[in-house]
Structure 1
Amino acid sequence: MGRDGSDQEMTTATYTHEDPVVDAALDWFTRLRAGTPDDATLRAFRAWRDGDPRHAREFRALEELWGAPTFAKAATLAGARPAAPARPSRAPWRRRLAFAASLALVLAAIWRSPDAVVAWRADYLTATGERERVTLPDGSTMILNTASAVALDFAKGERAITLLAGEAFFDVRHDADHPFTVTGRFGEVRVEGTAFSVEMKDDRDEIVLERGAVAVRCVGASGQAAALHPGEAVSVTATALSPVRRAAPEHDLAWRNGRIRFDERPLGAVVEDLRRYHKGPIFVLNDAAEGTVVSGNYRLDDIAGALRTLAAATGAEVIELPAGVVILR
C-alpha cells in the first residue's frame, strides 16, 4: 500500500506497513476487491503471489481474516462489507474508491494491532515472562521465549514456520528432502537440520546459529542472502542483511534455561532486554547509571531482583510501584 491517490477518498486510506511483504499483500488485497480487475492486473498479482512462498502465505492470511465473523462485523461498521467473491460491478468509480479506502483502513487497523493479529494467526504463543517447549509434527523441537508467537504449516510435506512476535529457538530434525524454513518480519531462514534462534525486533530480525548451518535471506527487494556457521549471527532489515558477525550463543540463548547473561553492556541496553520479561513498565531516570557498563547472570523469573542488584552496582535508586512499575533514578 503506501500510495497517495489524487482523489480525496483514497488519501484517507494511505497506510504503509513496516513489513514490505505485508504492505504489498494489503495493497493487492484491497485492489482486487475494489472492483473487477482486468487481465493485466490479475497476471501481475499472480506473478507477485507465486514469486515467493511468503507472498502467498500473507495473502492467504488476509483472505482467511476477510471471512472471519469478528472481522466481518468490524468491516461492516467501517463501510467495507465482506462478501462472496466479487461479481462484475456497475458501481461508479468513486464508490469503488470509497470501498477501497474503508477496506484498507479496516485491514490496516487490524494488521497494526499485535494482539489482534497474533491471537488470530498463532498456533502457539506465550505471555510475558513465559516460555514453552513444543515438539513439532516432524519431531523437531521449538522453544518459545517470552511474549512470542508462531504459526505452523506442516501440511503436504511442508516444514514452514512464521514467527509472528518475539523469539523462538529451533532444534531441527534433519530431512534433506523437506527443508525447514522460519520466516520473520524481514528474513527467512532455511535449513535441513540444525539449531538456531530467530528474534523479531521492531526494525530487524536477529538470527543466531548454535550448530549446523543455515541460509538466511532478506525477503525485501534486495533478496540478499548469507550463510551462517556455528557461533555466528546476522541481522535482517526490510532492505538488507548486516555483515555476518561472531555471536555468543551461551549468552544470547541463555533464556532457554530461564537466565539472562551479559558481559560489559550499558545498563540501558540491559534494561531494554529485561523489559521483555517484566509485566510492568521499567523506567531509567538516571543518565549516569544508564550509561554504566555492567555484567551479570540473572534469573528471568525475578526481574525486580535483578534490577535491584544492577541499581546497587550503578549507584541508582530503585522505586517499585503497584502494577509492576519499576523506576531507577
Structure 2
Amino acid sequence: MTEEAMDWFIRLQEMPDDGRTADVFKGWLAIDPRHGEAFERIEGLMAMPALREASRRDAARLAATRPPRAGQGWMKHAASIAAVFILVLGYVQYPALLLRWQADHLTQAGKQKIVTLPDGSEMLLNTASAVALDFADGKRHVRLLAGEAFFDVRPDPAHPFAVTAQFSETTVKGTAFAVRSEDNEDVILLERGRVAVSRLTAPMDEVALEPGQAVAADAASISKPGAFDPQSALAWREGRIVFQEESFARALGELDRYYDGTVLIASRRLETLNVSGSYRIDDPATAILTVAAAVGASETRLPGGLIILY
C-alpha cells in the first residue's frame, strides 16, 4: 500500500494539471481509507526537513558530476527530485529488507514453496509469505512473519509444535492446519487433528479447534470456532483460488496478493458487484482480467504492472 501511495505521489507531481489522473486518484482514495492514510504518510515524509536537507546535499553532489550548460537549470530540480525519491524508496523498502533479514524462508508474490522442517514436518508457504524457525534444543517453533502457511506436522507428543503470528499462537502435537496473518488479524484453519489457539497477549484466552473449524484472533479478542469449506479456503495449495458470491473488491484484493504489480479499482460501481468461480493463481494477471471481464469492467494497463479497472 505504501508503494501504491508513492506511485501516486510521483504521478501527481509529474502531472499536476491532468484531470483524468486526478479523477483516477480520487477513485483510488475511495477504495480504502487506508489509501488516504498511506498517501498522507508519504506527503509527511516528503515534507520532513531532514529529508529535504539530505536531498539538497545529494542533488548538489549529482549536479556536480557534469558541468552546467545553458538551458539546463531544470537538471538541478530533477536531481533534487531523484535524490528525494531514492531516500524515500529506501524508507518504503525497509520493511521488506527487515523481513528478509529475519526470515529463514520466504516467497515472492505469486510464488509458493514447500519446506521440510528439521523435525520432518512439512510446510507449504503461500504467496508473499515469510517464516522464522526455532528448532534448537528440542523446540519446534515457527514464527509466521507475513502471509500464509500450511503445516502438516509430524507427531511428537514430547515436543509440541507451535506457530506464532501477529496476535496468536497455535499449539499442536500432530495435525494439519493453515495460519494466515493479515493486517488486522490472524486466521487459523484446521484440516485434521486438534489444535489449541491462544492470544499472545492473553495466553489464558484459548480456543480448541476440531477438524473443519477456523478461528480468528486480533489484538483485542479471539473469535468462537466456526466452520469453513476446505475446498475453497485451502484451494491455494492446489494452485487455485475460489470465490463464492464474493465482493469484487475483496476478490481483487485476494488475487492481488499473487500479482507482482498493482491493481486499482477506479469505479465505485464495481465494488458493489459479486463474483464466483475458480481461478488459477499461477497466472494472476489473467485471473484478474478474467474476474474483471465477468463484471463488465474495462481495463487500462500501464508500465510497471499497474492495472486500472473502471
Whether TM exceeds 0.5 here: the answer is yes
* Runs of 4 or more above 6 Å deviation: none
1:119 paired residue number:
100
* Residues 154-186 of structure 1, C-alpha deviations (whole Å, 9 max, x = no match): 111100010111111000011111000000010
Aligned residue number for residue 32 of structure 1: none
Partners of 1:191 and 1:303 lie apart in 2 by 34
> How far did residue 222 of structure 1 move?
7.0
Q: Does residue 227 in structure 1 map to residue 198 in structure 2?
A: no
Once the two structures are superposed, residues 128-152 of structure 1 have per-residue CA deviations (whole angstroms, 9 ceiling, x without a partner) of: 1110001111110000011111111
Name the SS for the 1:240 alignment partner. coil
The answer on whether the counterparts of 2:279 and 2:287 sit within 8 Å (CA) in structure 1 is yes
Q: Given the alignment, which residue of 86, 105, 112 partners 1:131?
A: 112
For normalisation by structure 1, the TM-score amounts to: 0.64
**Alignment equivalent of 2:301, drawn from 310, 314, 320:** 320
For residues 289 and 105 of structure 2, the distance between their equivalents in structure 1, rounded to whole angstroms, comes to 33
> 2 CA distance for matches of 1:301 and 1:259?
8
The residue that corresponds to 2:169 in the other structure is 188
Determine helix, strand or coil for the equivalent of 1:273: helix
Query: 156-165 vs 312-321, which deviates more?
Result: 312-321
Distance 2:165 2:210 in 1: 20
Corresponding residue number in structure 1 for 2:14: none
Do structure 1's residue 291 and structure 2's residue 277 form an aligned pair? no
Give the one of 175, 179, 187 matched to 1:198. Answer: 179
Report the counterpart of residue 66 of structure 2 in structure 1: none
Q: Map Cα deviations across residues 173-212 of structure 1 (whole Å, 9 max, x no partner).
A: 1111100000001000000000001111011111111111
1:153-192 pair list within 5 angstroms: 153-192=134-173
* Counterpart for residue 278 of structure 1: 259
Aligned-pair CA distance for 1:113: 4.2
Q: Deviations over 1:274-301 (max 9, x none)?
A: 1111111101112222221111111112
More strand by proportion, 1 or 2?
2
In structure 2, C-alpha distance between the alignment counterparts of 1:222 and 1:174, rounded to whole Å = 23
Q: Percent identity?
A: 49
Task: Give the distance between the partners of 2:300 and 2:203, measured in 1 at CA.
Answer: 47
CA distance in 2, matches of 1:264, 1:297: 12
Shift of 1:223: 3.9
Number of aligned residue pairs: 220
AA at the equivalent of 1:170: F
Q: How far, CA to CA, are the matches of 1:140 and 1:235 in structure 2?
A: 24
Letter in 1 for 2:201: G
> Partner amino acid for 2:247?
P
Give how far 1:117 is off.
Answer: 2.4
Instruction: Give the equivalent residue in structure 1 for 2:231.
Output: 250
The answer on whether the counterparts of 2:110 and 2:284 sit within 8 Å (CA) in structure 1 is no
Compute the TM-score of the two structures, normalised by the length of structure 2: 0.68
Q: Is the CA contact (8 Å cut-off) linking 1:131 and 1:143 kept in structure 2?
A: yes
Are 1:268 and 2:249 an aligned pair? yes
1-structure distance, mates of 2:203, 2:178? 23
Q: Secondary structure at the match of 1:316?
A: coil
Please give the alpha-carbon distance, in whole angstroms, between the structure 1 residues aligned to 2:250 and 2:267.
14
Q: Any idea what the Cα deviations from partners look like across 1:94-133, whole Å, max 9, x if unmatched?
A: xxxxxxxxxxxxxxx99x9421321111110111111000
Distance 1:292 1:265 in 2: 8
Structure 1 unpaired stretches of 5+:
1-108
Counterpart in the other structure of 1:141: 122
Equivalent-residue separation in structure 2 for 1:224 and 1:161 (angstroms): 20
Cα distance between partner residues in 2 of 1:165 and 1:113: 15
Judged with a 3 Å threshold, the aligned counterparts in structure 2 of structure 1 residues 222 and 216 are, in CA distance, closer, same or farther, namely closer
Letter in 2 for 1:188: E
Matched to 2:170, the amino acid is V
Structure 2 unaligned blocks of 5 or more:
1-89
Cα displacement string for residues 3-57 of structure 1 (whole angstroms, at most 9, x for unaligned residues): xxxxxxxxxxxxxxxxxxxxxxxxxxxxxxxxxxxxxxxxxxxxxxxxxxxxxxx
